Amino acid sequence: MATTITAAEVHKQYNEIVTAFRKLIPDPTLRMEFSRQIDGYMRQCALGVWQADNASAITPAHVEFYNAIYSKGAPHPSVLYWELASGVADFDLFQAPVFFPSLVQYDQRKGTSLARRFVDQLTLILLLFAAVDGVVSETEAGFVNACGDLLLERCPKEGPDRSRPPVKASEFITKTDQKPEKPAPQEEPAPEKPNLEEVLQELDSLCGLERVKKDVKSLINLVKVQKLREEQGLPVAPMSLHLVFLGNPGTGKTTVARLLAKIYHAIGVLSKGQLVEVDRSGLVAGFVGQTAIKTGEVIQKALGGVLFIDEAYSLTGQDSPNDFGREAIEVLLKGMEDHRKDLIVVVAGYDELMEQFIHANPGLESRFNKYFYFEDYDSPQLLEIFRSMCKKHGYVLSEEGVQWAKGEFETLYQERDENFGNARDVRNLFEKAVARQADRVAQLESVTKEQLMALLPEDLKEETEHADSV
C-alpha cells in the first residue's frame, strides 16, 4: 500500500469487494438489507480512519475517495470540503453496522461464516481509505484493527473459517525510515497595485465599447463612494459586484474583464487582481464527485481576483440527467458567498442564452444584477482594429490595401449573422494576410525592410479572389 491509489481504483476495488461478498449471502432478505446499508456505513467508517490519521485538512484526494463510494444508479451529491472536514472532526465512535447481528444470527443457524468474512472485507476497504495519502500509518492501522477486533468478538465461536487468522491492518503499515521532509512554504510577494489612471487609459484606448467604458467608470464611482461612506460611519447598502457580460464573440469581453480585475485591485476591492478564465470544461467533470473538486480548485485559484466564465450558459444547457453543470453552479454560488469580499465572478455569453442562464437559478438572479452590453464592432471600428494589429506587429498597410479593407469590412458587417466573430474575424484576416505576404516576399531575390513590412491588396485577398481575377 505504499503506492498512491486513484479514486477510480478505489471505486473499482470497493465495488469488487462488496459485489463478491453480496454473492456469498444466500438469504435474499439479508442480501437486500446488506445492499441498502453498506455504502452509507463505509462512508462513515472512512471518517473514522481519517480522524485516526489526525487529518488536519481535507484535501481534494479525501473528497475524491469519499465520493468513490456511492449507490449504483443513485449517486450521492458531491460533498464539499467543509462538509467532509466537519464529518471527520465530529466522528465519535465506531459502531457495528445494523445488518451485522443478522449476519451473526444467520451464521449461528446455518453454520456459515458470513460475519467473520465481512470483518476481513471491512479491513480491506478501510485500508483503501487509509491509503488516500499513499501511506498506511500505525494510527490508521490501529483504528482498523480495533474495528475488526470489536466485530470479531461478536462472531460465532464456531465456524469453517475459525481456524484461519483474520486479516490484520498492521500487516499493511507503510515502512519508512523517516518521513519525507516537506519544503518550507514560501510566501508569495504581495502583488503591486496597478496605477488606476494607467489602467483607465488602457481601457479608453480600446476600440469602440463606449457604453461599456461608461458602465465601468460608473461602477468605479459607486465603489469609491461606498468606501467613503463606510469610512465616515454611514450606512452602506448591500452591493454585488459580480457581472454579466452580454455580447457576441470577439467584442472584447475577456479584455475588459482583465482590466476590471486590475481596476478592482487598484481601488482596494480585490487583494491580487488576477484574471482566471474558464469555460464549462474547466468546471465540469464526468465522474461523480469530481465536479465539486474541479470547481472548488478554480475558485481557490481565482481568490483575490476575477473569475471569468465564458459561455456560462452551457452549464445549464445540457439535457442529460447525468450532467454535472448544475452541480458546478451550486459550488460556484457557495464559493461566491463564502468569499464575497475577495472574489468577483463575471459570466459571459450571447445575450439571449445568458438571460436564460441567469433566470435558471434564483441564486444566480440574486447575485448577478449588473449587466454590461458589448455591441458588435461596425465596419470603421473593424478597420481600426485591423490597422492597430498591423502597427503592433510591424506591418504597413498600403493605400490600396486600406481601400480594399474598407470594402471588405463593410461587407462583413452588413452581412453578419450568428457566426460573426467581430475582432476574431479581423485577427483571422490579419494572420492569413501575414502568411500570404510571407509567401510573396519569400519569392523576391533581394528583400528590403519596406518590403518586409508592406501589406498589399493581394496579401489581403483570399486565393479564390486571385483565381477569379486571372
Domain boundaries, the chain: 7-172, 196-374, 379-469
Select from 3.30.750.210, 1.10.8.60, 3.40.50.1820, 1.10.1040.50 the CATH code of 379-469. Answer: 1.10.8.60
**What b-and-e string marks burial along 299-332, b requiring 16 or more CB atoms within 10 Å of the CB?**
beebbbbbbbbbbbbbbbeeeeeebbbebbbbbb
The answer to whether residue 12 scores a pLDDT higher than 90 is no
User: Rounded distance, CA 406 to CA 379, Å?
Assistant: 7
The answer to whether residue 289 scores a pLDDT higher than 80 is no
Q: What pTM did the predictor assign?
A: 0.60
Give residue 382's pLDDT: 94
The answer to whether residue 129 scores a pLDDT higher than 50 is yes
The answer to whether residue 56 scores a pLDDT higher than 60 is no
User: Rounded distance, CA 463 to CA 150, Å?
Assistant: 81
Give residue 150's pLDDT: 87
The answer to whether residue 77 scores a pLDDT higher than 50 is no
The highest-confidence range among 45-59, 238-252, 275-289, by mean pLDDT, is 238-252
pLDDT, tens digit, 9 for 90 and up, residues 90-104 = 777 888 899 999 999
Give residue 75's pLDDT: 45
Helix (H) or strand (E) holding 124: helix 114-130
The answer to whether residue 433 scores a pLDDT higher than 50 is yes
Q: How many residues would you count in the chain?
A: 470
Q: Which residue has the higher pLDDT, 356 or 54?
A: 356
102 backbone φψ class: left, alpha, beta (φ>0; ψ -120 to 50): alpha
Give residue 189's pLDDT: 57
Helix pair 114-130, 28-52: axis angle to 10 deg = 40
DSSP secondary structure letter of residue 269: S
**Residues 278 and 260 sit within 8 Å (Cβ to Cβ):** no
Domain 196-374 matches domain 379-469 at the CATH topology level:
no
Give residue 171's pLDDT: 63
Domain covering 196-374 in this structure, CATH number: 3.40.50.300
Give residue 70's pLDDT: 64
**Residues 208 and 250 sit within 8 Å (Cβ to Cβ):** no
The closest alpha carbon to 95, from 37, 139, 159, belongs to 37
